[in-house]
């Protein structure tokens, strides 16, 4: 009897752990390799158009042949230093990315299309916009402290 309880308890724990370990690929939608790291966001969101047709961020946020939209250059050599702990030019009371706090990060406000943003939701030529899953992964990177990883 005791042995069967142990087996049932072990199975319940295994099922519970599996349910909590949702694979990111199941929520990332059109960017199945997206992870909550800066390198992944850079490669899969900032610099790439995804399979839904959402434009890459660097289509507008580049200094190649132009002044970057909003003064934000998201090319790989500049993006991190342009985002993290830098005040937004549109709403200077908010950081573009406030490490540990996605709700006070202006980047999240812009991709969510929240009230109070200056201009339009990003990407400007959307829809399609970032999916809820993509935004969730972006938020998770910020929650983790927005490391340069």
Model confidence over 10-26: pLDDT tens digits?
444 344 433 444 566 56
Model confidence, pTM: 0.81
Task: Note the pLDDT of residue 33.
Answer: 82
- Which residue intervals of the chain are DSSP H helices? 2-20, 38-41, 79-83, 106-112, 132-143
Task: Note the pLDDT of residue 22.
Answer: 53
Using pLDDT thresholds of 50, 70 and 90, give the confidence band for residue 2: low
Sign, CA dihedral 35-102-125-63, equals: negative
Mean pLDDT in residue range 27-43: 89
- Phi/psi-derived region of residue 70, left when phi > 0, alpha when psi is between -120 and 50, beta in every other case: left
List the domain boundaries for the chain. Answer: 24-143
pLDDT tens digit string along 84-101?
A: 999 999 999 999 999 999
């Amino acid at each position: 009897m005791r042995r069967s309880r142990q087996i049932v308890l072990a199975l319940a724990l295994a099922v519970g752990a599996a349910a909590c370990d949702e694979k990111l690929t199941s929520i990332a939608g059109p960017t199945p390799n997206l992870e909550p790291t800066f390198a992944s966001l850079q490669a899969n969101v900032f610099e790439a158009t995804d399979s839904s047709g959402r434009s890459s961020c660097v289509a507008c946020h580049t200094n190649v042949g132009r002044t970057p939209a909003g003064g934000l250059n998201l090319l790989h050599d500049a993006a991190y230093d342009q985002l993290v702990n830098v005040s937004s030019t549109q709403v200077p009371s908010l950081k573009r990315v406030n490490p540990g706090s996605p709700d006070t990060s202006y980047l999240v406000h812009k991709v969510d299309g929240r009230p109070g943003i200056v201009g339009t939701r990003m990407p400007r030529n959307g829809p399609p916009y970032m999916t809820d899953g993509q935004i969730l992964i972006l938020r998770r990177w910020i929650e983790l402290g927005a490391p340069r990883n």
